[in-house]
């Protein structure tokens, strides 16, 4: 079977559509979103209307039923426009809706999946806690069953879409004696009694992304809000593998934006009577940036192809996530260098790209964790 690196006509048309949508509907909102550290929530229904929130979801739930490659095209284009906005959209689709698609019953899918794909409600995933990040088994949140209800207590932090979500999927121990296997997943509505606080977190980068600490104090939810029971937590988390791939695609998009800006700037900025792009020190920098971006993109789309064809993709997803995180930080650093002093100022977006790039090695599984996963997959 031949290897085809070309996008299909449908994928190319989709890419052109999202780029046009991004430049006309999202770009004008970026400056205000960054300055006010506030995600433009009016985007969600627009994204839903365009079908962008249901790319990889079945048509029966209002999705478009396309593949992971197409979803990565979307993630890359969104990352190219704004990393923070892209992060919120990815958290909604890949982190909050995929578990409902995979594990939810008909009632849960009707309540959350259908309006979620339309952009009428916004979801979040509550896993990380103040003392539990990469080691999810160390979470302290608890869920105690009382009659036909569960009582949730605990604190979640660094939750994307935290202050604006309509629902959040929360991991909590239903049996503390079972390390890891005693964890269950629940869907908690934003207006649930005892969902007491949504504290906004201010960040170095991704300032347009809504990030918060969530506090649950004797939060009451009906038993039908149980999504995944004991013993299913590990499997449920495995379904989020796709989020790692789209996050890598987002990093590629951010790197592409930084590269394009630096390249265009180098052709216009003159020193010693000629454009700085003509100096080997700069041209070689740009050449290396281009090579790294293309390599990262190939890793991402290979992982997406494997995922779309139901093939094992754990190692490749971690490779793509790890390498894309390295590349986006390298490229954004070099972009600042190409611009010199202007790269350090707020007049141009390169300083924002530089700040946004760092998160790539931390969120959706740190680079250190990706090394662990890859090593295990190599049999080490």
* Catalytic residue numbers, as ranges: 364
Give me 247's structure tokens: 């996050």
- 293: CB partners within 8 A, 6+ apart: 252, 255, 256, 259, 327, 331
For the residues of 122-146, what is the DSSP string, one character each? -EEEE--BTTBSS-GGG---EEEEE
Q: Return phi, psi of residue 52, to 5°.
A: -75, -20
Buried-exposed string 206-243: b where 16+ CB fall within 10 A, e elsewhere: bbbbbbbbbbbeebbbeeebbbbeeeebeebbeebbbb
- 269: CB partners within 8 A, 6+ apart: 275, 276, 339
- 306: CB partners within 8 A, 6+ apart: 312, 313, 316
């Amino acid at each position: 079977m031949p290897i085809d690196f070309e996008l299909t006509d449908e994928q190319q048309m989709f890419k052109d559509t999202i780029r046009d949508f991004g430049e006309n509907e999202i770009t004008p909102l970026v400056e205000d979103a960054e300055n006010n550290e506030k995600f433009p929530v009016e985007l969600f229904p627009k994204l839903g209307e365009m079908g962008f929130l249901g790319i990889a979801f079945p048509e029966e739930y209002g999705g478009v039923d396309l593949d992971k490659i197409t979803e990565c095209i979307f993630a890359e284009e969104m990352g190219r426009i704004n990393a923070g906005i892209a992060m919120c959209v990815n958290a909604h689709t890949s982190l909050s809706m995929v578990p409902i698609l995979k594990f939810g019953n008909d009632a849960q899918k009707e309540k959350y999946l259908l309006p979620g794909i339309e952009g009428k409600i916004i979801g979040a995933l509550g896993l990380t806690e103040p003392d539990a990040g990469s080691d999810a088994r160390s979470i302290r949140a608890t869920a105690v069953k009382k009659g036909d209800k569960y009582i949730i207590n605990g604190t979640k932090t660094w939750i994307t879409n935290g202050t604006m979500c309509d629902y959040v999927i929360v991991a909590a121990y239903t049996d503390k004696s079972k390390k890891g296997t005693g964890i269950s997943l629940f869907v908690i509505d934003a207006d649930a009694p005892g969902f007491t606080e949504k504290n906004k977190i201010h960040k170095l980068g991704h300032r347009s992304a809504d990030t918060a600490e969530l506090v649950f104090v004797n939060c009451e939810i009906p038993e039908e809000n149980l999504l995944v029971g004991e013993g299913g937590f590990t499997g449920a988390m495995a379904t989020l593998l796709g989020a790692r791939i789209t996050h890598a695609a987002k990093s590629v998009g951010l790197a592409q934006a930084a590269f394009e800006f630096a390249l265009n700037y180098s052709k216009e900025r003159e020193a010693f009577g000629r454009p700085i792009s003509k100096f080997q020190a700069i041209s070689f920098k740009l050449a290396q940036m281009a090579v790294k971006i293309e390599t990262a993109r190939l890793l991402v789309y290979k992982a997406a192809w494997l995922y779309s064809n139901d093939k094992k993709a754990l190692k490749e997803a971690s490779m793509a996530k790890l390498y894309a995180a390295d590349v986006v930080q390298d490229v954004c650093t070099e972009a600042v260098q190409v611009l010199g002093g202007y790269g350090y100022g707020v007049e141009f977006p390169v300083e924002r790209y530089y700040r946004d790039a760092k998160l790539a090695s931390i969120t959706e599984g740190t680079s250190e964790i990706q090394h662990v996963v890859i090593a295990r997959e190599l049999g080490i």
